[in-house]
Amino acid sequence: MKFNLKNSTPKPSILALFSFFILSLAFTACTKDPIIPIGTNPPVELEKKILDFYIPFKNIVINEEKRQIINYETKDFNDYKNLTPDIEVSNGVTISPASGVTVDATKPVTYTLTATDGSKATYALIICNVEWEYDEVRSGGASTTRLAFLDEPWTAVSHNGVLTLHFGWDDESSIDIYLKIPISSALVSQFPVGNYTPANVPAGKAGATFVYRENGIVKTFASPLSGNLTITQYDAAKSTISGSFAQIKYSGIGTETQGNTYLSGTFENLPLEIK
């Protein structure tokens, strides 16, 4: 039997196989991803938050979820053209207008935060005029006391068709008024207030609860609440509402015989949260 040597492939030697293996390792090593030196990674987007917004003698709340700076004012405050805040922001972030710059809040004011990577976030400044007061007539009408509460955080939440207005600190005396009607339909009309919970407020009416605390102890009432609530404005674009409540009457807190107390209040540009 003869072999055609020209068309046959010789078997590789052990030395040739070893040489090929070494060359393959060298080529693989050269094609690996290069090692990135420490400190050359792309910058991480920085947190862009207003940590503090301070104006002397002002009650200011930052709503981080809605990116709002809410300045609660009394209804007689009118110096909106000269607000000069001291602002603290996240580390490495700049803000415009800058801290210490006077702004005119009679016009829309927006604060823009810029991180080192160029990303931005904005906050809107909202002036919310709020005020409430009460007249206290002691038993027999012997004395009348009139006090104003100006520093409480006021909130408005619309949830499942019930608008809830909350006035006061959660750990102190406060009042909640519930309105079961679409906000756009509630404008200008007066709604009677009675002792209700959000679940049982009749359609087209308003309910209320008043929580009175003395030294941390909650006291109850001997008679139902009464009075009225009016929604005067609803700004869907800004998500704010305005209105008033008047002659919300309660009496007989606990075992005290202090007679009747009448609550009245106004709110303008109150930020509304819709759930």
| pLDDT tens figures, 254-271 | 444 456 777 888 888 888
pLDDT band at residue 34 using 50, 70 and 90 as cut-offs: very low
Neighbours of 74 (CB within 10 A): 13
Q: Which residues contact 274 (CB under 8 A, 6 or more apart)?
A: 157, 158, 159, 239
Confidence (pLDDT) at 110: 95
pLDDT reading at 38 higher than 60: no
* pLDDT, tens digit, 9 for 90 and up, residues 193-242: 888 888 889 988 998 887 777 666 676 665 667 889 999 999 888 888 99
pLDDT reading at 50 higher than 70: yes
Q: How many angstroms separate the CA atoms of 227 and 239, rounded? A: 26
CB neighbour class for 252 (10 Å; exposed up to 12, middle 13-18, buried from 19)? middle
pLDDT band at residue 273 using 50, 70 and 90 as cut-offs: confident
pLDDT reading at 8 higher than 50: no
pLDDT band at residue 135 using 50, 70 and 90 as cut-offs: confident
Confidence (pLDDT) at 109: 94
Higher per-residue confidence, 91 vs 167: 91
CB neighbour class for 82 (10 Å; exposed up to 12, middle 13-18, buried from 19)? exposed
pLDDT band at residue 42 using 50, 70 and 90 as cut-offs: very low
pLDDT reading at 59 higher than 70: yes
Higher per-residue confidence, 43 vs 116: 116
Higher per-residue confidence, 101 vs 66: 101
Confidence (pLDDT) at 131: 80
Average pLDDT over residues 168-179: 79
Confidence (pLDDT) at 260: 74
Going along the chain from its start, the domains and CATH numbers come out as 50-127 (2.60.40.2340), 130-274 (2.40.128)
Confidence (pLDDT) at 33: 43
Measured CA to CA in angstroms, residue 187 lies from 54, 182, 190, 233 at distances of 34, 9, 9, 6
Q: What is the CA radius of gyration of the chain?
A: 34
pLDDT band at residue 100 using 50, 70 and 90 as cut-offs: very high
User: Which percentage of the chain shows pLDDT scores above 70?
Assistant: 67
Q: How high does pLDDT run on average in the chain?
A: 77
The residue whose two tokens read 């007249």 is 135
Average pLDDT over residues 63-89: 85
Higher per-residue confidence, 134 vs 122: 122
The residue whose two tokens read 């009408």 is 141
Task: Tell me the one-letter amino acid at 6.
Answer: K
Which range is least confidently modeled, 142-151, 222-231, 239-248?
142-151
pTM exceeds 0.75 for this model: no
